[in-house]
Amino acid sequence: MTRRFLGVPWLFAVAYSAVGFSLYFAIGVVADRGLGLTPLIFLAAGVLFVLTTLTYTEGSVMFLERGGSTTMARYAFNELVSFAAGWAILIDYVIVIALAAITVPHYLAPISDSFSHSGGEVLTAGAVIAVVAGINMLGVTGRGRQRVLVVLALADLALQLAVIGVGAAVAFEPDLLTAELDLFASPSLEDVIYAAVIATVAFAGIEAASDLAPDLEFEPPDLKRVLTAGAVLVPLVYAAMAVVALMAVPVVATPQGPETELAGRFIDDPIMGVVQSYEPAWLADVMRWAVAVVAPVVLVWAASTSMLGVSRHMYVLATNRQIPSWLGKLGREHTTPYVAIGIAAVMAFGLVIPADIEFLAGVYAFGALLAISIAHLAVIRLRVIDAERERPYRIPLDVMVRGHRLPLPAMIAAVITILAWASVIAFHDGARYLGGGWMVFGLVGYVIYRRVVEGTSVTKRVTVPAEALMKEPPEVEYGSILVPIFGTELDDDIVGTAGRLAAAAEPDSPDGRGSRLDVIYVMALPLTVPVDAPAPKEQRERAETALRRAREVGEEYESVDVATDIVSARTVGAGIVEA
């Protein structure tokens, strides 16, 4: 989104805001179970976030392709693992949109209470989702809005630092942090694990931030400075915000046990709850209005960024034939995947209606930890199978394992995230059923699509050009196109290119069809065999298999007829000429 001419501080501001917005809804759900240990839990989550950022940075800048964990898994493992990572992240993008939309009306309460009450909450959240979907369908999130977004990112960071600074000045009572703390009892070990896993909602946006890689021009020293600043600032801001929050809205004893209103009355707007607890009253009013001005805009922008992530991920999955092409269909005027955006908007609105932030955070953790674990394992494996590839950035602290330099931070993070994902399955029923159901549905659909519809391997990469996702082709003049294939991995690319050209032709036949692909497979016969003699059975079966696959690829393009034929000749070149 930003180019190097904006400078390193600008790049850092955008990258930070891609994840910093989660504080506006994360503190309450973590404090619900973390209680007095919430600051330490956020500090630990911040450290894990830094390790995860190192992994995503190495993987993203190594390939400079969109897709985040999906792309890393594609190069490190295969298309099946790549799809699993991408499918897990898709539900997380939708959940972030829903979380941001649910939270916006509560941060607008200083303007009018009607935003956050009953029907007003759902209507406002629906309006946010509609606006976000419209912005992304129209493609107005590109470079023309760079400076506006960067200013917003800096305003977000400044507001969070102001909340921390003012809170430290007027609500500094460290004793409140431990007043109701009883280690291994309140909170219990299970509560701490549960809260720590939910704290991964702070990772919201890391995949979207990794999608910036193809849009950036940077020098390795710049990248290292950004990562160093992030490694210091992110954990400290997360932990400091939690400290201030629990001093301003402390954990207190109740008949049901220790509780904090951050997880009760303020669970939908914890930062607003923090600042309205400040004294004197005029200071609380000033801070409330500062939050009301900045937070809703930041959250809408975060939802828009996540919707952009949906569109980019669906595009990547569609062009790699991991989902049907119509799901990634691009509009001609704005070249945005309007079908995917529309489906994501409907799903997000469906998740908004129950308005259960805790449930959504748990399901988010399921998807995020799965995808992040795959990303860590992918970067580790790439150090083994593709060690010679140029890496503009390398994770520091390598260890030698069987002659390979493996990144120790990624190895540690992989173990943590895998264990954390297992704990989600063990302790969070909603995440286990909804998240597990989502993955089963996606994987079964993927296998059926690949094996039954496409007739191809579930692990082999098969691509189509972006033009195949266009709703309407441009006007060019092509009629019948002769396409020779050879039964190799290049056949899909050959037919795909020809299909794109054929689809670009004006429909001129009486039945309204467009151009035609004449796909041929030339069987070169030796001089000892007559040209018109039946071909060997094995050779004919290979030809028929290749032609069937070519027809499937060609028919992905609208208004294109595909004809196939087997041509016998002395040489491949002669067969092509004769055809």
pLDDT of amino acid 163: 93
**What would the mean pLDDT of 35-46 be, rounded to a whole number?**
87
pLDDT of amino acid 324: 84
Residue 465, C-beta contacts closer than 8 angstroms, at least 6 positions apart: 319, 496, 497, 500
Whether residue 7 is predicted with pLDDT greater than 50 in this model: the reply is no
Q: Which structure tokens are listed for 213?
A: 């890689």
Q: Using the 8-state DSSP alphabet, how is residue 381 labeled? A: H
> CA–CA separation, 439 vs 538, rounded Å?
39
| Residue 63 pLDDT class (50, 70, 90 cuts) | confident
Give start and end residues of each alpha helix (H) in 472-529.
491-503
269: helix, strand or coil: coil
Contact 359, 430 (CB under 8 A): yes
Q: Which structure tokens are listed for 33?
A: 């179970």
> CA–CA separation, 177 vs 198, rounded Å?
20
pLDDT of amino acid 325: 78
pLDDT of amino acid 479: 61
Between 528 and 488, the more confident residue is 488
**What is the number of other CB atoms lying within 10 angstroms of the CB of residue 390?**
6
Distances from the Cα of 67 to the Cα of 16, 184, 374, 375, 480, angstroms = 19, 41, 13, 11, 36
Between 198 and 531, the more confident residue is 198
Q: Among residues 455, 402, 26, 461, which one has the least CA distance to residue 203?
A: 26
Whether residue 543 is predicted with pLDDT greater than 80 in this model: the reply is yes
E strand or H helix at 341, and its extent?
helix 338-352
Instruction: Among 125-139, 213-227, 508-522, name the one with the lowest average pLDDT.
Output: 213-227
> CA–CA separation, 107 vs 128, rounded Å?
13
> CA–CA separation, 392 vs 217, rounded Å?
12
pLDDT of amino acid 439: 93
Residue 106, C-beta contacts closer than 8 angstroms, at least 6 positions apart: 115, 116, 121, 268, 269, 272
Q: Among residues 255, 252, 330, 244, which one has the least CA distance to residue 38?
A: 244
pLDDT in tens, 231-281: 677 778 888 999 999 999 998 888 888 888 988 888 888 999 999 999 899
Whether residue 6 is predicted with pLDDT greater than 60 in this model: the reply is no
Whether residue 223 is predicted with pLDDT greater than 70 in this model: the reply is no
Residue 65, C-beta contacts closer than 8 angstroms, at least 6 positions apart: 71, 213, 214, 316
pLDDT of amino acid 291: 93
Q: Using the 8-state DSSP alphabet, how is residue 491 labeled? A: H
**What would the mean pLDDT of 10-36 be, rounded to a whole number?**
75
